[in-house]
Amino acid sequence: EVNRVKQMVETHPLGVKKRIFTDSELNYCYAKNNPFPHLAARFAAKEAAAKAFGTGIRGIGWKEIEIIKENDGQVGINLSGRAKQLALELGITNFLLSLSHSREYAVAQAIAVGGGSRE
């Protein structure tokens, strides 16, 4: 829900900015008239990507999964730190990502693509 993310950002602005979103994500979202649906969509995308790993966000920093805008206008994921290492270990080479939002809700789907197997 967009309002939950808005409340989280307004209640703990420094914590959210420091722990969840990268500077690039914040700059993109705050360039919009209403940044909160965009922030909520990115939060949902980070959760979806973490779940696509099969581990959830446990052991991965929120900022290690960065939601980016590709040159062609598509959204993508830039991994760093433990998230990048985990992708290498699992053989994940790419993510297919879809985001959508309205004023009230944000949703995201992430599919991890690669040749690795989970035994």
The catalytic position among 6, 51, 63, 84 is 51
Task: Decide if pLDDT at 115 tops 70.
Answer: no
Question: How much is the pLDDT for 11?
Answer: 92
CA atoms within 13 A on the CB side of 80: 9
Residue 51 bears catalytic tag: yes
Residue 46 bears catalytic tag: no
Per-residue model confidence as pLDDT tens digits over 91-111: 999 999 999 999 899 999 999
Whether 1 contacts 104, CB under 8 Å:
yes
The catalytic position among 38, 46, 63, 101 is 101
116 band by pLDDT with thresholds 50, 70 and 90:
low
Q: Which domains does the chain have, with CATH numbers?
A: 2-114 (3.90.470.20)
Question: How much is the pLDDT for 13?
Answer: 86
Per-residue model confidence as pLDDT tens digits over 12-69: 988 888 899 999 999 999 999 999 999 999 999 999 999 999 888 888 999 999 999 9
Question: How much is the pLDDT for 14?
Answer: 86
How many angstroms separate the CA atoms of 4 and 102, rounded?
14
